[in-house]
Structure 1
Amino acid sequence: MSTQPKTSPKIVLTFFILCLNLFTYGQNQELDSIKTLVETYKKDDTIRVNLLIDFTKYYTSRDINQNLPLIEEAMQISEKIGYKRGSGISLNALSTYYTLKGELDKALENALQAKELLQTINDHNNLIVTNNNLARIYGANKKHNKALEIHLQNVELIKNRPTSPSKAGYYFYVAKTYQELLKLKEAEEYYKTALKISEKADYSTGVAIAQGSLGNLYNILGNYTEAIKFIKLALDFSIKHGQTSNVAASYFTLADSYSRLNNLNAAIENNSKAIEIYESLNNFRMLKEAYIGQYQYFEKLKQYENANKFLKLHYNMVDTLFSENKVKIIEDLQTKYETEKKEAQILSLSQQASIQALEIKQKNQAIVIGLIVVLFFGTALYFIYQQRTLKKERAQSELEQRFLRSQLNPHFIFNALLAIQNFMIKNNAQSAALYLTKFSKLMRQILESSREEFIAVESEIEMLTNYMDIHKLRLKDTFEYKIDVDKNIDVETDTIPPMFVQPFVENAIEHGIINAKDQGLVEIRFYKEKEYISIEIKDNGGGLVRENATPSEHQPLASTIIRERMALFNKNLKDKIQLILNDIENEKGEIMGTKVELKVPFSYV
């Protein structure tokens, strides 16, 4: 029997909230339940542990910081009385806390401990919850194969359980993870199982989710008739329940399905409904996609006036989104600079007042002492002035760096969007779906890296690999590429400035191997050289674009921006970024390609 615990203010607050929740269901009966619960709490520490963990769910959507003291108290009680189940659910609650805080390493560590403990006592109910938590953490870390393994463990644990909405949910998780891994047939199987379970459990929301998911999946698989059938069922549910965003998404997807079946009038009709809703919701991201879709449908019908109208709307939306991002970055930096400037002015005025007070107080002292004092404070003021000047220059340099990165990203995205448009018009649906999946992943990588001054070599290589895979698809495998990383480079901890290599790879593809006589080849090599990571980019194309090139010999804008970024970086770097461009010649002096050597200083994570 455990000793009587001292009631803390947090426990009092917890019971007060419980009373309010229970009171909404009836006064007399629930008051008796509360009294019974309070008596049980006084006598049984295991009840107390479960109450503490239950109330973390209340705070999760209100003030997550309140959870940590409750979890720690539950863990202390569980350890004291040897309550293994309590320790397991406390560790899982702690894992959830760290997941929501974004500290995924700590979240994973606690979830694995919880799983190990719950397995020893065969607590399948809480093991399922912990598994689900683990799978979410692996998914957030982009380890989808590991997440799938955990989700499949849960499916095994619930196979013999009665039909319920929650049971359908676990099949949804498996299907969604298979789709992330582009294992589409497996995803279809699990979506269908989730649909059957939802229908059997009379779970209408689950039925609608499964129908919509199957519709999107059939679009990817190229089975557009089945896609339309399921999307319409999901659309009816969304309209009935007033789910405006889902209604728009269904119309947008239906338009795509009809266009694949060459029913362009139906595609335009459904896409128009989607546009109307997106405009009312000010959903600029989806409006951009809907406008370009409408342009493509009218273009196929050879209604060029309407097509041109929606193409203009699309690019106006693109320009608006990029302009808003640029303005926000510049305004934020300007605000920080003005704040620092005002603080420095206040500091300067304060010091000047101190000097004047000191001069008045010491006016009768000897001239020599007065000169020493004036000299001292004059030196201090000069030092402050120098510091302010340096700070201003650093702020300006950072502003220019971010602005150049924001220039580079729209330039690259514009080229990629044109590539996607051409590919989707000319190629089959399944390849187009793969292309779009790779492009969306590349967009996430670019957006994440554009916020950082340095990124891991591993991230840069992953982004380059995805970028070149997209171009291979677009150019129908007319070139190959190789990426070689020296063993002295730790790809996880060694970091380099982002988006320096990609423009030269772009030039190699667009202006190099496109002129190659044989199969194109792009070779990239990373190796360490003293204080630098050197990157060598080689192609077997037609050689360099010269400085005195004619207007037809395009001078790439991205390379110009990279040179400007190099100049800005080099202002503050001891080891300067170096760039060497050379033609590759054979023994006869014939140009066989281009070699770019880029040397960048590196740092450690």
Structure 2
Amino acid sequence: MEYDPKKAIKILDSLQLHSSIISSEQAALLFFKKGEVYYVNDFYLESIIEHKKAYNLFVEQKDEYNKTRSLITLSAANLRFENFEKAQEYALEALHTAESLGDERMLGKANNQLFQLHFILEDYSKALQYIQKAEEIFAYEKDTVSKIAIKSNEAAIYLKQKKYNKALKIYQESLKLGQNIKAPQTIVKILNNIGFIYIETKEYPSAIQFLEGAIQLNKNINAINAAPYKGLGYVYFLNKDVNKSIVNYKQSLTIYKQNKNIPEQIQVLDKLITLAIQDKNSEEALNYQIERDQLQVELQAIEKEKLLGFATVKYQVKEKEIELLYQQQTNQRNKWLFGSLLITLSLLLILLGAYLYITKLKAANRASKLEQNLLRVQMNPHFIFNTLAAIQNITLEEDYIKSSNYIAKFSKLIRQNFDYVRKEEITLEEEINMILNYIETQQLRFDDSFQYILNLGENCDTKSLKVPPMLLQPFVENAIEYGLKGKKMEGILELNIFKEKNQLCFEIKDNGVGRSNYSKQHRKSKALHATDVFMERLKLRKKAEEKTFQIEDLYNSEKQPIGTKITFKIKIT
């Protein structure tokens, strides 16, 4: 029977609707199960949200076993987002808890998770230590699939270190284990890797044998994989068997086209051009070269788009000015030809054209200025300098993983700002990833003096919902800078996102000092206000969304300020 993840989520949601009649233990397991379903279907953000809820309940219930299970998935999901410090934090806690429980299986999984972290960071010696610990733990386990996965991970390190004999020995051990279980996809990966090793060691007949085995097994399970075809193409290329090399490279090219993998297509086309020349087929070589050049242009265009940024907008405005000048010159020549009766009409047309152009130019300049203002309020120098200073302090403390994590996080934040600023819409998942990245960067600045909570509505499909980019950051920044920064006790920043019919609702709430207290202690700045830019952006959408924007000062029963709440809604289709 085919597994339907959406149906599984609906069933779990329906169970949660009856939360009043289920126990706290059952609720925790429901959150855990949802988190696992989201993770295996690549919804990593949703998985993190659900597992955090499960983790908190497991802590309250002192359920150390299930807490450890949640920690391992939390570590894996954060690693997907390149949040290395969080991934390490969760994995180390899982390791410590598994040790105290004496649970060998959980201990092995925690070590494997720490291997994944250090492997990505290219710290291969540390990665090898963790995966060998995992291998020792699973030595007496009956879980053959896990044994194979661990051995393959260990072999991957030796491949990176070019220790081919060691890697080959371990892959052969994995292959022997795999013959006793039904895990064809795992076997395919092993066959591919063995074939690659034999190519590196110039044992081409053996390489062909294993790569062809991988292809045959893929056919048996109806799987599509370009890697073994590309490997075979390379082997035959080295052996100067032009015809077989071309056949296999063409097959891999077809698959890479289906996957839209441009870099791999370019690599394969490079080889096909050389082979066509060797085969004295100049026409085919030319066709491959044209196709390769088109892909290269496409790839370069993607990179150039990031570099051009605002320069593109300025160029477009200048282009319109040149077009108008040309039109004015043409009209000036024509008025002498059409006589005195048409002079008045020509002048009216020129004036009308000038008016329309000026109107368009103002709109273009307005949009360009809005983009620049948006980027300015998003990445102000004060924030950048303070963040760099915080990263410098961590580096001086020799906490390399933490500093590496925050350098990656900060560079990713800058890249996100430049990538998204000129887009009309991005997915809700991209918006949430960017704002969480921003909040965690701010936590670094303020030494974790505040915490954040993200509540995402059950009916919010973050991958399909589209929103204008960088909606939340101005208000999150205000909450931190003007509310939580001046708070003596621990601050809390809460983000709530949910759907109401055809509207997506946003709520940003903090328990800071409040606007009235802040205004008494600080003079008002004459600098560009982020709220003005936000309102201008909503007005340009012409959906009356700016009317939903509200700022509410929060007070306790004694009418003392206890924070601020921002709400607004945008229309979705």
TM-score, reference length from structure 1: 0.46
| Structure with bigger gyration radius | 1
Which one has more relative contact order, counting CA pairs under 8 Å at least 6 apart? 2
